[in-house]
Structure 1
Amino acid sequence: MNDTPLLNLITDFVDDFRQPAILWQVLAIASCLALSWVLVRQLRVFLNQRAESAANTSAPVSAEALRRTHSFIRILTPVLAALLLGVTQHVLSRFQTVHLLSIAIPLCTSMALVRFGFYVLRRIFARHGEISPTMLLLEKVFTIVVWLGMAMYITGLWPDLHAFLEGIVVPLGRNKVSVAAILQAAISVAVLMVLAMWAATALDDRLMKMQGLHSSLRVVMSRMGRAVLILVSVLVSLSLVGIDLTVLSVFGGAFGVALGFGLQKIAANFVSGFIILLDRSLTIGDVITVGQFNGKVTQINTRYTVLLGGDGVESIVPNEMLISGGVQNMSLSNSMVWLASTVSVGYDTDIDTIFPLLEAAAASVPRVSQTKPPSATLVRFGADGLDLQIGFWIADPENGTGGVKSNVNRAIWRTLQEHKVSVPFPQRELRIIGMPAVALAGTPEPAAGPDDKQV
């Protein structure tokens, strides 16, 4: 490979260091870097002041929005530095050589590209601030590729490498494609796909903040917007590398055959997801029961729906199951849910007196609805006492039912203790033929029956 560009670069540096022009270039680089840093710092201070003033109003700025803003501001420092260095190079090139500036500008551009790549990747794949080891590895690979490409560009080795890759031809059917064309196509598709996913993420965040739209409609628009952006990015990338889009008809036929034979479930779940979102039978935040799954709807994706149970376990339910089977929705048109607690009291209890006390005990729990007051009923005459039921309504089933049931039971128990109401428990007698009858728990010995033998 020809090493003349690298030798020319070294020669230019040696010539610059022998002349006073190098001092002006160093001063220009330091001044541009300092000025860009000061400008970005002032912008960060201004945004922090805006955030503090907004925190005192009715529309505070979220921590996630501030984090994304500061992450994006980090890109501006090398961008401003590269722009200032470009203007400085244009001015100084009229009076002296600017070889050092010719290297400083690509270096600042590479730094800006690396930071912009980090911002986009984390915006797409680490939306909640959680950076996985895979994400760190991807960022390291991206950094190495960018700096390696910039080094080859500065040293002048890039044209030689491109010519070398153009000379390697790979046969693809009747055609022959160079390795350079394959790499160009892969890079184009990857870059446009990442940009499309970044735009889809920004669209999703903007739609989710529009409180005037129904939550299901926002999700539908977000999913459709993401699909359209990804599809357009793929078509544009294929057109840029010179691939005829009519060849996609072959893939369309193959996809139809695959859909007919083995992808029915996937297609059914995909279509069911849009049906659920469009008919608004389920929305995020609803508490539903489907089959053996119960919980709060936290996500409605195109293929599955995520339910968060009261025990913290997340259940992934295929969307087809929500369409073809029965679903209990506790908050479809009305979030009011009726719950009940049962208790047994002795036969000597005054029912007319105890009913208002039990209803007042249930009503004392904060989550119990006051618009629909609790009611006590006599369910049955049990073997050990009178079985009573205290029914009550709650308006927030998404917060769980176990806690409110426990609080109601505790209030009922305190009321029964305060008014000396006996709560019977099962009592049984054990009789052995040929032996005296033995009573349990201090109960009086019953009279002997005709079949009992007294000893």
Structure 2
Amino acid sequence: MMNTQILTTLIADLADDFREPQFLWQVGTVAICFLMAWQLSRVLRRLFTRGEPTHGVMHIGVESFSRVLSPALNMVFLGVGEAILGRWQHTHLLTLLFPIIGSLAIIRFGFYIVRKTFSRQGRIGTFLAVFEKLFAVLVWIGVVLHFTGLWPDLLAALDDIVLPVGKNKISLLNILQASISVVLTIVIALWASAALEARLMLLPSMHSSLKVVLSRVGRALLILIAILVSLTIVGIDLTVLSVFGGALGVGLGFGLQKIASSYVSGFIILLDRSMSIGDMITVDKFNGRVTQINTRYTVLQGFDGAESVIPNEMLVSSPVQNFSLTNRTVAMTTDLVVSYQTDIEKIMPLLVDAVAKVDRIAQDPAPAAYLMKFGSDGLELRVGFWIIDPENGRTSVLSHVNRALWQLIQEQEINLPYPQRVVTLSSPLGNIAPPAR
């Protein structure tokens, strides 16, 4: 027979309190606690989110955590109110509301942890949405079990179910407790690593590569600590990991040496700062802008939008051309041929002025024109210029430069010679005999 003594007793006590005038003190205490919690949560939100750029670290996560503030503060104030009011009268209403508000705080805090850990750019996938609903249902089931007094019966039933594991027997309760402990420790470690990475990315005085390497190392250490703690909680002897560590070392030495080399190369790239996110590089046949630097691979986004995943080992062992390592300016040229009758001293400054007026052309160093060669068809000229934003592409700016030069050529009526070919026939067309039938 189900034990409903807690719920029955609580309802009966509330009915008795409702008939007494002192019940209004409980209602007033609950209203004051809710009002104080709501007002204090608003004050804390304004305090932490109004901020200036210098308070960016404090700003992280406060907006999403604000939904947890109200029920959490309600729990605190209800606990204080119950302790104070309980000296003079019954507080059954506060006793009823405390687990309900507490369950709401647990649900919202769980949502906050999961979203900060697994969601990207505030978007929630289908799996996370289903998980959040399942988590909320489990919490409310726990509240119902608490009020109905079925917790002890449920724990006893789970402890009686024994599963054979090898030569030992483990109860279902121990398995559930171990699973929950492992999941909680790992999720907390992932949440802490995500918070650490977000805070590091806001530090303006630290190099981007150092931020990435610190976040990656912190994430790995936190996950390792979480695994060790969870194994200790479960009751697994950590000395058994020595055999696993030896086997893993042999596997890395033989079958996973390429992967291990890429991981080590990733940390080398991040530590020696040979490239950073946003740099324009060329390696082998790949070129583009660095968008991600991970511990195993680096992502390059080409000018056509295609992304190339480059193993970090290639970036360490192969020559890499970095267009923005110490200086982001990139030199470009365009060539043209003019006739020998052209006034070079007049036209060359005009070419420079036309190129200097094009957008994205750097003024320091300034564009320049050169006489490169006395060609067979005319004078070969070269116009050189610099751009300071190679990540925006070079084809478009070269097109604008050529169009500006073509407009100048039309205005100044500059003659652009081109090769002429003379075809000489060995015999007149009329002397060619028709083919025999």
**TM-score, with normalisation over the residues of structure 1?**
0.85
Question: In the alignment, residue 142 of structure 2 is paired with which amino acid?
Answer: G
In the aligned structure 2, how far is the partner of 1:220 from the partner of 1:198? 18
Question: In the alignment, residue 17 of structure 1 is paired with which amino acid?
Answer: A
Deviates more, 1:11-20 or 1:291-300: 11-20
For the aligned residue pairs, the C-alpha RMSD in angstroms reads 2.9
Match of 2:10? Answer: 12
In the aligned structure 1, how far is the partner of 2:172 from the partner of 2:92? 33
Does 2:117 match 1:117? Answer: no
Match of 1:401? Answer: 394
Match of 2:44? Answer: 43
Match of 2:139? Answer: 146
Q: 1:30 to 1:430 in 2, by over 3 A?
A: farther
Q: Is the 8 A contact 1:283 1:297 kept in 2?
A: yes
Deviation at 1:231, TM superposition (A): 0.9
In the aligned structure 2, how far is the partner of 1:250 from the partner of 1:177? 24
Q: 1:79 to 1:433 in 2, by over 3 A?
A: same
SS at match of 1:391: strand
- Which aligned pairs between 1:160-199 and structure 2 lie closer than 5 A? 160-199=153-192
Q: 1:90 to 1:396 in 2, by over 3 A?
A: same
Match of 1:244? Answer: 237
**Structure 1, unpaired ranges of 5+:** 438-450
Match of 1:298? Answer: 291
SS at match of 1:368: coil
Deviates more, 1:184-193 or 1:125-134: 125-134
In the aligned structure 1, how far is the partner of 2:75 from the partner of 2:126? 31
In the aligned structure 1, how far is the partner of 2:120 from the partner of 2:134? 20
Q: Is the 8 A contact 1:75 1:115 kept in 2?
A: yes
**207, 213, 220: which one aligns with 2:200:** 207
**317, 320, 337: which one aligns with 1:324:** 317
Q: How many residues align?
A: 430
Percentage of pairs with the same residue: 51
In the aligned structure 1, how far is the partner of 2:333 from the partner of 2:58? 44
Does 2:372 match 1:373? Answer: no
Q: Is the 8 A contact 2:6 2:149 kept in 1?
A: no
Q: Is the 8 A contact 1:16 1:97 kept in 2?
A: no
In the aligned structure 1, how far is the partner of 2:45 from the partner of 2:322? 47
Deviation at 1:433, TM superposition (A): 6.5
Q: Is the 8 A contact 1:272 1:319 kept in 2?
A: yes
Match of 1:3? Answer: 2
Q: 1:258 to 1:143 in 2, by over 3 A?
A: farther
Match of 2:64? Answer: 71
In the aligned structure 1, how far is the partner of 2:404 from the partner of 2:87? 89
Deviation at 1:341, TM superposition (A): 1.3
Does 2:344 match 1:351? Answer: yes
Q: 1:394 to 1:106 in 2, by over 3 A?
A: same
Q: Is the 8 A contact 2:45 2:62 kept in 1?
A: no
Q: Is the 8 A contact 1:339 1:392 kept in 2?
A: yes
Deviates more, 1:39-48 or 1:388-397: 39-48
**385, 402, 411: which one aligns with 2:404:** 411
In the aligned structure 2, how far is the partner of 1:265 from the partner of 1:159? 54
Does 2:216 match 1:223? Answer: yes
Match of 1:443? Answer: none
In the aligned structure 1, how far is the partner of 2:405 from the partner of 2:295? 46
Match of 1:91? Answer: 84
Deviation at 1:336, TM superposition (A): 2.6
Deviation at 1:301, TM superposition (A): 0.7
**Structure 2, unpaired ranges of 5+:** none
In the aligned structure 1, how far is the partner of 2:75 from the partner of 2:162? 38
Q: 1:385 to 1:142 in 2, by over 3 A?
A: farther
Deviates more, 1:297-306 or 1:145-154: 145-154
SS at match of 2:261: helix
Match of 1:253? Answer: 246
Q: Is the 8 A contact 2:5 2:149 kept in 1?
A: no
Deviation at 1:257, TM superposition (A): 3.7
Q: 1:43 to 1:217 in 2, by over 3 A?
A: closer
Match of 1:363? Answer: 356
**Deviations, residues 327-352 of structure 1 (Å, cap 9, x unaligned):** 11112233232111122333432333
**Deviations, residues 180-236 of structure 1 (Å, cap 9, x unaligned):** 222212211221222222222222222223333322222211211111111111111
Q: 1:384 to 1:325 in 2, by over 3 A?
A: same
Match of 1:276? Answer: 269
Q: 1:357 to 1:199 in 2, by over 3 A?
A: same
SS at match of 1:284: coil
Question: In the alignment, residue 172 of structure 1 is paired with which amino acid?
Answer: V
**Deviations, residues 47-86 of structure 1 (Å, cap 9, x unaligned):** 56x44xx3xxxx3777x98683222122111011111111
Match of 1:307? Answer: 300
In the aligned structure 2, how far is the partner of 1:169 from the partner of 1:263? 40
User: Higher relative contact order by CA 8 Å / sep ≥ 6: 1 or 2?
Assistant: 2
Q: 1:23 to 1:434 in 2, by over 3 A?
A: farther
In the aligned structure 2, how far is the partner of 1:205 from the partner of 1:67? 7
